[in-house]
């Protein structure tokens, strides 16, 4: 019993303090426009139940480096943002959920059906100030856009959420009790 409690305590402590990988897919639909050497998009992020209840995605690629607007490479840069308008007070004061840009050159290619695929790496800051990276794939056809993006972060040792603090304290006490008993028996 004591060994099991000791192992469980170590697992609790490590699970609270170990860096984790966070990720989420963000699906969107909307429209796009072509500039002289950039592509801009405006899309509604789909809600978890398939409705149009998510934030608004806006992006502009970096400048075209090589090729054409349908088969080429764009420079890193531009903008890639997620803004919330549907929360209480957000219509007046929208919240920036993610503010970032394309962090590497972005490619665009056209398949045989005429659908263009824009793909690139993104990076930026979440609403909580944490820097995250990810990627986006957007399908462009006839002025309409559909696609998805993902964000992920390898966290360092940051402050745990308040609900995990009791687990940490319990784990530390469970480890400290057997160690204390062992040292008090020897003296």
How confident is the model over 74-123, as pLDDT tens digits?
999 999 999 887 666 666 778 888 999 999 999 999 999 999 999 999 99
Residue 156 pLDDT > 70, yes or no?
no
Which residue, chain included where needed, has tokens 């509604």?
A: 44
State the DSSP code for 13. H
Domain ranges within the chain, ordered by starting residue: 18-179
CA 88 to chain centroid: 23
Residue 10 pLDDT > 80, yes or no?
no
| Percentage above 90 pLDDT, the chain | 45
Question: Of 33, 46, 39, whose CA–CA distance to 72 is shortest?
Answer: 39
Mean pLDDT of 14-27: 50
Mean pLDDT of 120-131: 92
Predicted confidence at residue 12, as pLDDT, reads: 45
Residue 76: both structure tokens together: 């890193």
- What contacts 24+ positions apart, CB below 8 Å, involve 65-71? 65/105, 67/108, 69/34, 69/37, 69/39, 69/108, 70/108, 70/109, 70/110, 70/116, 71/108, 71/109, 71/110
């Amino acid at each position: 019993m004591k060994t099991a409690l000791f192992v469980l305590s170590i697992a609790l402590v490590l699970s609270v303090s170990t860096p984790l990988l966070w990720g989420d897919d963000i699906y969107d639909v909307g429209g796009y426009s072509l500039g002289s050497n950039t592509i801009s998009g405006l899309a509604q992020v789909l809600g978890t139940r398939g409705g149009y209840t998510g934030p608004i995605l806006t992006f502009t690629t970096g400048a075209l480096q090589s090729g054409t607007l349908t088969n080429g490479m764009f420079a890193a840069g531009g903008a890639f943002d997620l803004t919330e308008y549907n929360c209480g007070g957000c219509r007046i004061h929208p919240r920036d959920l993610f503010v970032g840009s394309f962090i590497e050159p972005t490619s665009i290619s056209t398949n045989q059906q005429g659908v263009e695929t824009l793909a690139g790496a993104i990076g930026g800051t979440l609403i909580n100030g944490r820097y995250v990276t990810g990627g986006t794939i957007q399908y462009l056809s006839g002025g309409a856009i559909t696609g998805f993006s993902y964000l992920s972060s390898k966290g360092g040792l940051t402050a745990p959420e308040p609900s995990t603090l009791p687990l940490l304290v319990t784990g530390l006490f469970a480890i400290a009790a057997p160690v204390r008993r062992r040292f008090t028996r020897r003296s």
